[in-house]
Amino acid sequence: MPSILNSLKLLSDPTRLRVFLLILCEELSVLELQEILGMGQSRISTQLAKLKSGGLAEDRKVGKSNLYVGLGDAKIRKICVDLSAEVPENEQDLKSLRHVVAKRKDKAKAYFDDLAGKFGKRYVPGRSWKGLTEALLKVLNYEVVADFGAGEGTLSQLLAQRAKKVIAIDNSAKMVEFGADLAKQHQLDNLEYRLGDIEAPPLDPASVDLAVFSQALHHAANPEEALAAAYRSLKPGGVLIVLDLLKHQFEQARELYFDTWLGFSEVELIEMLNNTGYSCIEASVVDKESEPPFFQTLLAVAVKPSEAEG
């Protein structure tokens, strides 16, 4: 059993203390700790190795991963719980931990995450993403929809088949002109294109039932401000849908696609939505590309609380 003094010396490092507090709560893999802490694998592995050598952690093999758990007698645990109040990141770490544990335990979600990467690899007559999208759109029933960063408006045109009104917003005058011409050609009188920035959209407050960001958020200079702008435009009880890239390391995307951000992790996106005031937040990976650079698609759904809830 390690001495209390040696243990306290070992836990004097802020990062090591954060790792230890998490593995005291739950057995976690390095990958899960990466997701929670937003740190690199080598940094976390180094801290875990020091905790193991100091007798404050142990690991066990589960499948291809090692799960780490914190050790320590009652005195050490009590001291660490008391110290946690002085760790600025502790509250957010615990929120992220709950998300990671819930995701792990949700077997049905894990099944569909796995299925998403395999869908479409085998030919099935009549099955396609476009067909499924159009079928799902038939059950949507939103009066006013705002499509943030709509581009030429492919999604907006699909939404216009069902919604009472769709407002497509883009900061490219040529895209807006092109989309407006398409809407006119297809006689979509309920589809309106507006020139504007997704962080300061030309929308009245509380005027929209559904707000959509489809592969647009990673182009925002300030993604949280864009989500806040959508929040202001939504009616109480309105729904937000975000489709974006899962965080990746393909730096060429900045030049090839003019991406400002290299995607977002589930934890980052959930944190931004929480900070902005949304409730009923869900986020998961829904598609995994089979070709390099193996982009993954992240879906998040959230709700603007009703006035009664607020």
For residues 44 and 128, membership in a common domain is answered with no
Query: Quick check: is 231 in a domain?
Result: yes
SS3 state of residue 240: strand
CA-wise closest residue to 133 among 156, 114, 110, 166: 156
The CATH number of whichever domain residue 13 belongs to comes to 1.10.10.10
What pLDDT is recorded for position 106?
A: 62
Last residue of a domain, one of 93, 125, 150: 93
For residues 121 and 210, membership in a common domain is answered with yes
For residues 56 and 158, membership in a common domain is answered with no
What pLDDT is recorded for position 66?
A: 87
SS3 state of residue 284: strand
Question: Domain range holding 145?
Answer: 112-303
What pLDDT is recorded for position 2?
A: 63
**Which single residue is written with the structure tokens 């109040």?**
85
What pLDDT is recorded for position 138?
A: 53
Query: Quick check: is 309 in a domain?
Result: no
For residues 30 and 157, membership in a common domain is answered with no
For residues 33 and 141, membership in a common domain is answered with no
Query: Quick check: is 102 in a domain?
Result: no
Query: Quick check: is 101 in a domain?
Result: no
> Which residues of the chain are under the pLDDT cut of 50?
107-113, 115-128, 132
Query: Quick check: is 107 in a domain?
Result: no
For residues 128 and 265, membership in a common domain is answered with yes
- The runs of H, that is alpha helices, within the chain are 4-10, 14-25, 30-37, 41-53, 74-84, 90-105, 107-118, 129-137, 154-159, 173-185, 223-233, 253-256, 266-276
For residues 167 and 235, membership in a common domain is answered with yes
What pLDDT is recorded for position 136?
A: 56
Threshold 0.85, pTM exceeds? no
Last residue of a domain, one of 66, 93, 120: 93
Query: Quick check: is 190 in a domain?
Result: yes
Query: Quick check: is 27 in a domain?
Result: yes
Cis peptide before 293 (omega within 30 of 0): yes
What pLDDT is recorded for position 30?
A: 94
For residues 160 and 258, membership in a common domain is answered with yes
Task: Work out how many domains the chain is built from and give that number.
Answer: 2
For residues 20 and 118, membership in a common domain is answered with no
88-112, pLDDT tens digit by residue?
898 899 999 988 887 776 643 444 4
> Which CA distances in Å does 302 have to 53, 108, 264, 276?
43, 20, 16, 11
Last residue of a domain, one of 42, 58, 93: 93
For residues 136 and 231, membership in a common domain is answered with yes
Query: Quick check: is 103 in a domain?
Result: no
The CATH number of whichever domain residue 181 belongs to comes to 3.40.50.150
What pLDDT is recorded for position 100?
A: 86
Q: What is the number of alpha carbons within 13 Å of residue 251 lying toward its C-beta?
A: 0
Buried b vs exposed e over 147-166: b needs ≥16 C-beta within 10 Å?
bbbbbbbebbbbbbebbebb
For residues 86 and 121, membership in a common domain is answered with no
For residues 290 and 174, membership in a common domain is answered with yes
Judge contact between 198 and 227, C-beta under 8 A.
no
